[in-house]
Amino acid sequence: MRRSKKDRQDLLRQTIEHTPFITDEELAKKFGVSIQTIRLDRMELTIPELRERIKHVANSQWDETVKSINIDEVIGEIIDLELDERAISILDIKPEHVFTRNQIVRGHHLFAQANSLAVALIDDPLALTFHSEITFTRQVKLHERVVAKAKVIRQDRKRTVIEVESTVEQEQVFKGTFEMFRSSVKEGN
């Protein structure tokens, strides 16, 4: 069923507010219209393109917030962070991330995204990975977007345990548990 332009634009605005990192291609598929139509709708609604939306969020205060790692050492872009609680990053898979022969991402990139996000999550100037258990649950291919979500599940003494789940379009591709050493003692949880 075709929607009116106004209805489509209202739904477009709501969709982008709810999932700001959705691509024009995904929006076109969702609404059954061309990518050009989505771009024109965004322009009329003064909604910036994805790259600008990501840049806006990434330019928030992560540089001053993250204590354990330089922000440019994080693999992917942090889009949400609450120290010692949760964090989210995105990684757009580019040619340099994949094997040339089959266009499948090299696993160390997914691990690095998850591990660096776990390090960035620690509210301490020193955070090191002590132990990790990881599983790759699906191959990731060129041009896919990987969203990694990390959450602290336990803190005791000088260790913090963090779970990370990475997805592509809500399908799990990686999961891991990272036990992190920190220099200062944290109590609780």
pLDDT, residue 189, reads: 45
pTM of the full structure: 0.68
| pLDDT, tens only, 151-177 | 999 998 789 999 999 999 999 999 999
In the three-class reduction of DSSP (H, G, I as helix; E, B as strand; rest coil), residue 29 is classed as helix
| pLDDT, tens only, 87-118 | 999 999 999 999 999 999 999 999 999 999 99
β-sheet bridge partners, residue 180: 129, 160
pLDDT, residue 54, reads: 67
Q: Are 177 and 162 in contact, with CB atoms under 8 Å apart? A: yes
Exposed, middle or buried by CB within 10 Å (0-12, 13-18, 19+), for 51? exposed
Domains of the chain: 5-55 (1.10.10.10), 60-182 (3.10.129.10)
What whole-number distance in Å separates Cα of residue 71 and Cα of residue 79? 12
What whole-number distance in Å separates Cα of residue 66 and Cα of residue 54? 18
